[in-house]
Amino acid sequence: MLGISKKKRISYLVNLAIVFLIYFGISTLIAQRVINSYYSDIINMMLINIILAVSLNLVTGLLGQLVLGHAGFMLVGAYSAALFTLNVKLPFTVSFPIALIIGGLAAALSGFIIGVPALRLRGDYLAIITLGFGEIIRVIANNLTITNGAKGLYGMESLNTRHNLTGMFTYIFFIAVFVIFLNFTFGTSRHGRAVIAIREDEIAAEAAGIHTTYYKLLAFVLAAFIAGVAGGLYAHQIGLIDPSKFDFNRSTEILVMVVLGGMGSITGSILSAGVLTILPEALRGFSNYRMLLYSVVLICVMLFRPTGLLGRSEFSLTGAFEKIRSTVGGNKKNAAKKEG
């Protein structure tokens, strides 16, 4: 904490307190069965989608590159993690965290292999290459014996049990918090500023001495690693995976979360991922019109807020308190002047 201003220290402590309050509040409600298994599964899926949206925001938001194959990295992580836990004779509490790391590293390796040639291109061309990667990796998984083909893998264990529904929530929640913290830290670091400079003007950034290829690849591989970890969490949360769950529609869904929240805004990605996870479930009562209503909501948001819910800005709780305090203080000063 040395070298950090008092305001930042207070902000960090407030955010940390809020994180633990949210965790203990939700975990207590799940443990007491106030939140049943159905709703706890929705919460877990919402957190996984937040991880995916925040990771894609690194490339699409900070770097400004359109990627349409993010579900491909999720697939690599999901299958790598699932194959590890299914075939290694270790207690699940030991094998599961190792499997998540393996899933992330496998996805990062895939990101490196596809990123070296792909990141030489820009815009639509990069989007087409990543789209091709997502479809190729899905077709490969659909035809390999080790992945059980189109039948997929099943029988993956979960930390949730009949008597304890908080196991997976704890893992997913703190991984989501760490990913959000990592992205905030990366975005405000020297490396993050270099990535943003590339987004704004790649030629000018290169002329200023920024190693554009290195930073583009760094953001791409880091996003792939996080997507791989999210895939491992997804595989063990659902307990059944097959290649059809990681198709182009899944990549588009993750991209929509980033665009809807605001490209470059981490809190925007968190908000939109939460809304787009809960909304389809909330509309299940309108089964015949559910997807129509879902689409209308998206269209309305993009018509009236084309830059996304938060644009490129971030929501800060301490910043909001400061604005409220300054507004109240300003009103008091104006009232005192009028009285005087």
Q: Tell me which residue of 86, 76, 81 sits closest to 140, measured CA to CA.
A: 76
Give pTM, 2 decimals.
0.89
pLDDT tens readout for residues 260-316? 888 888 888 999 899 889 888 887 777 667 677 777 877 887 788 777 777 777 766
What does the domain layout of the chain look like in residue ranges? 1-36, 50-247
Count the neighbouring beta carbons within 10 Å of the beta carbon of residue 279.
14
pLDDT tens readout for residues 229-243? 999 999 999 989 999
SS (H, E, C) the chain: CCCCCHHHHHHHHHHHHHHHHHHHHHHHHHHCCCCCHHHHHHHHHHHHHHHHHHHHHHHHHHHCCCCCCHHHHHHHHHHHHHHHHHHCCCCHHHHHHHHHHHHHHHHHHHHHHHHHHHCCCCHHHHHHHHHHHHHHHHHHHHHCCCCCHHHCEECCCCCCCCCCCCHHHHHHHHHHHHHHHHHHHHHHCHHHHHHHHHHHCHHHHHHCCCCHHHHHHHHHHHHHHHHHHHHHHHHHHHCEECHHHHCHHHHHHHHHHHHHHCCCCHHHHHHHHHHHHHHHHHCHHHCCCHHHHHHHHHHHHHHHCCCCCCCCCCCCHHHHHHHHHHHHHHHHHHHHHHHC
pLDDT over 90 at 188, yes or no:
no
pLDDT tens readout for residues 95-111? 999 999 999 999 999 99
Residue type, 22: I
Distance CA 79, CA 226 (A): 15
* pLDDT attached to residue 1: 46
pLDDT tens readout for residues 191-232? 989 999 988 888 898 898 888 889 999 999 999 999 999 999
Quote the Cα angle for 302-121-128, to 5°.
55
* pLDDT attached to residue 20: 92
Is 188 or 172 the better-scoring residue by pLDDT?
172
What are the residues whose beta carbons fall under 8 Å from the beta carbon of 43, sequence distance 6 or more? 26, 35, 169
pLDDT tens readout for residues 67-100? 888 999 999 999 999 999 999 988 988 999 999 9
pLDDT band at residue 44 using 50, 70 and 90 as cut-offs: very high
